[in-house]
Chain A
């Protein structure tokens, strides 16, 4: 297991390096420098600005310098927000986005696992069809549609909940969290149902039942552990989706998080900011994919034993 973990870690490094390199050179291809503003800048000022941001150096030197700075955690200054460093901007948006993603994940896990287990207990009955149909709606209803619809219903028509902001008014975290979590609740419900159905037909479940254990103990203690493996394997890719969803949700609800910064940077052509956030978000996604893979491997006794055999 340790060997496998190290191997996967080592594999992640070249991928990360490729992302950094590709992003850096892609951004250099972008049309229009960051200082090609509406009004022309005096050549001398432009040169001074370019010198300040190292744009006057040859590209490969800019690249090595950027890598060196990056290694120290320095992503350079923002082109559009003078006086702000990219890593400061990222750090100021990160807690909000992390909180949003965490709540959304909680919504998704609680609703998804409960609905999936519930549906799997009586397959092909109404108890199965109703939650699974709802899940299908949840999957087909994109975040950028669900969000505005929830705002329309609970914000404007019923006037129960605030429609923008994060932590300014009581209850303003509810709608964004549900909006972001809904689709994942649906996926997790389907995965959990599938996983549980497979496990419930295994011999060890029959053994547990034959011992005379009550059904809820069989479900929660014996079946759930195995039945949740597909869900856990899904969490890594889901995290990437949550980040993409946070772009939309933070835009809809005007939440000052990383996602909104990223979309704005894309609009403003704030190149250092795009570069920095792309690298940061990519790193996060790669790490989370790795973690969920490792966790799923560790939870699955069949896979685990493969690694226990020889080398460890």
Chain B
């Protein structure tokens, strides 16, 4: 065995390098990752690369099918659909990412504390999660939107506050196994404080499932936002999102079908990509978890 091979063998592979190798083999997941990265870049650059201004109208032009000047056509006010899709995508993605972060923060904190402290605290905290699971959340979100007005911030919080339950369960399960590992015991023996143990040892070691579930939560959240916007209870004009564009397109689809089809495609492809990426990450990071 050559010296180089020995070095390679000894270096071993970290969890992340290992996961990346596995992810690379999954074509669908790579496609999903590509689409997601592409969308994020587009969303970040929209103000500079959008072909027209967001407010730009051309009432004389009216609704036109896709053409060289307007790749995806225009709506009844002569507004460029591609431009509106790009700006709408920013809102949809932002809702997806921010609401997922809210869910992540609450879920990880809740699950970690319940799992690590254990005992009666754990029992009470998880019974609360069980009870909340039984609540009809979709109705509750609509109720919140009615009561507190239809603000974007509230939408983030309401959706985030709903989606943390599963995250809490997953994290708790992880923490229950991690807290009895030797390295945690060693950290405790060294006299580290509990918050420090949690932040330095417990949370980083349950990152795999957390990332997987977060990736799968983003499409759910985007779907929920689009659902609310479709009903007129989510994003309000003049702001736009894909759900709102679909709702608008559905009203006029008989005469201007492209106004429905392109926003629908944008949303569907994004949801597809995120789901494939999430499934791929699950296989790569958490091979033990089953698919359904």
User: Is B291's CB within 8 Å of the partner chain A?
Assistant: yes
Count of residues in B whose CB is under 8 Å from the partner chain: 42
Please name 26 pairs of A and B residues whose Cβ atoms are closer than 8 Å in the assembled complex, sorted by A. A12-B134, A15-B135, A18-B131, A19-B135, A23-B143, A26-B147, A29-B148, A30-B146, A139-B275, A140-B219, A140-B275, A142-B227, A142-B268, A144-B246, A147-B250, A194-B291, A244-B139, A247-B142, A262-B139, A263-B233, A278-B140, A281-B136, A282-B135, A282-B136, A282-B139, A286-B136
Known: A148-B246, A148-B249. A142 touches B134 (CB 8 A): no
Closest to B253 in A: A152
Please give, as numbers and ranges, the residues of chain B lying within 8 Å of A173 by CB-CB distance: none
Partner pick for A230 among B226, B227, B292, CB 8 A cutoff: B292
Closest to A29 in B: B147
Known: A149-B260, A266-B233, A286-B136. A144 touches B250 (CB 8 A): yes
Which B residues have a C-beta under 8 Å from some C-beta of A? 131, 134-136, 138-140, 142-149, 219, 223, 226-227, 230-233, 243, 246-247, 249-250, 253-254, 257, 260-261, 264, 267-268, 271-272, 275, 290-292
Q: Mark A3-33, 1 if CB is under 8 A from B, else 0.
A: 0000000011011001100010011011100
Please give, as numbers and ranges, the residues of chain A lying within 8 Å of B139 by CB-CB distance: 243-244, 262, 278, 281-282, 285
Q: Separation in Å of the A244 CB from the closest CB of chain B? A: 4
| Contact call A30/B247, Cβ cutoff below 8 A | no
| Contact call A140/B227, Cβ cutoff below 8 A | no
Q: Separation in Å of the A279 CB from the closest CB of chain B? A: 10
Please give, as numbers and ranges, the residues of chain B lying within 8 Å of A247 by CB-CB distance: 142, 231
Give the CA-CA distance A282 to B135 in the complex, in Å: 7
Q: Mark A268-311, 1 if CB is under 8 A from B, else 0.
A: 01000010001001100110010000000000000000000000
Please give, as numbers and ranges, the residues of chain B lying within 8 Å of A19 by CB-CB distance: 135-136
Partner pick for B292 among A15, A29, A151, A190, CB 8 A cutoff: A190
Please give, as numbers and ranges, the residues of chain A lying within 8 Å of B291 by CB-CB distance: 190, 194
| Contact call B267/A267, Cβ cutoff below 8 A | no
Give the CA-CA distance A27 to B144 in the complex, in Å: 9
Partner pick for B264 among A149, A240, A267, A289, CB 8 A cutoff: A149
Please give, as numbers and ranges, the residues of chain A lying within 8 Å of B267 by CB-CB distance: 142, 145
Please give, as numbers and ranges, the residues of chain A lying within 8 Å of B223 by CB-CB distance: 142
Give the CA-CA distance A282 to B139 in the complex, in Å: 8
Please give, as numbers and ranges, the residues of chain A lying within 8 Å of B268 by CB-CB distance: 140-142, 145
Partner pick for B146 among A151, A156, A269, A289, CB 8 A cutoff: A269
Partner pick for A248 among B147, B231, B249, B253, CB 8 A cutoff: B231
Please give, as numbers and ranges, the residues of chain B lying within 8 Å of A194 by CB-CB distance: 290-292
Please give, as numbers and ranges, the residues of chain B lying within 8 Å of A15 by CB-CB distance: 131, 134-135
Closest to B230 in A: A144
Please give, as numbers and ranges, the residues of chain A lying within 8 Å of B290 by CB-CB distance: 194
Please give, as numbers and ranges, the residues of chain A lying within 8 Å of B148 by CB-CB distance: 29-30
| Contact call A140/B230, Cβ cutoff below 8 A | no
Q: Separation in Å of the A1 CB from the closest CB of chain B? A: 20
| Contact call B227/A286, Cβ cutoff below 8 A | no
Please give, as numbers and ranges, the residues of chain A lying within 8 Å of B143 by CB-CB distance: 23, 26-27, 266, 274, 278
User: Is A94's CB within 8 Å of the partner chain B?
Assistant: no
| Contact call A248/B230, Cβ cutoff below 8 A | yes
Please give, as numbers and ranges, the residues of chain A lying within 8 Å of B260 by CB-CB distance: 148-149, 152
Closest to A267 in B: B232
Closest to A263 in B: B231
Closest to A244 in B: B138
8 closest cross-chain pairs (CB), A and B: A148-B250, A244-B138, A285-B136, A194-B292, A144-B230, A140-B271, A30-B147, A145-B264
User: Is A136's CB within 8 Å of the partner chain B?
Assistant: yes
| Contact call B247/A144, Cβ cutoff below 8 A | yes
Give the CA-CA distance A181 to B140 in the complex, in Å: 23
| Contact call B264/A244, Cβ cutoff below 8 A | no
Give the CA-CA distance A131 to B148 in the complex, in Å: 43
Closest to A152 in B: B253
Please give, as numbers and ranges, the residues of chain B lying within 8 Å of A243 by CB-CB distance: 136, 138-139
Give the CA-CA distance A191 to B290 in the complex, in Å: 11
Give the CA-CA distance A151 to B252 in the complex, in Å: 12
Query: Among residues 113 to 158 in chain A, which have CB atoms less than 8 Å away from a CB atom of chain B?
Result: 136-137, 139-145, 147-149, 151-152, 156
Closest to A193 in B: B292
Q: Separation in Å of the A146 CB from the closest CB of chain B? A: 9
User: Is A252's CB within 8 Å of the partner chain B?
Assistant: yes
Please give, as numbers and ranges, the residues of chain A lying within 8 Å of B272 by CB-CB distance: 136-137, 140
User: Is A62's CB within 8 Å of the partner chain B?
Assistant: no
Known: A12-B134, A144-B247, A282-B139. A156 touches B292 (CB 8 A): no
Give the CA-CA distance A147 to B264 in the complex, in Å: 11
User: Is A54's CB within 8 Å of the partner chain B?
Assistant: no
Closest to A288 in B: B136
Partner pick for A144 among B142, B227, B292, CB 8 A cutoff: B227
Please give, as numbers and ranges, the residues of chain B lying within 8 Å of A30 by CB-CB distance: 146-148
Give the CA-CA distance A140 to B149 in the complex, in Å: 29
Closest to A259 in B: B231
Q: Separation in Å of the B256 CB from the closest CB of chain A? A: 11
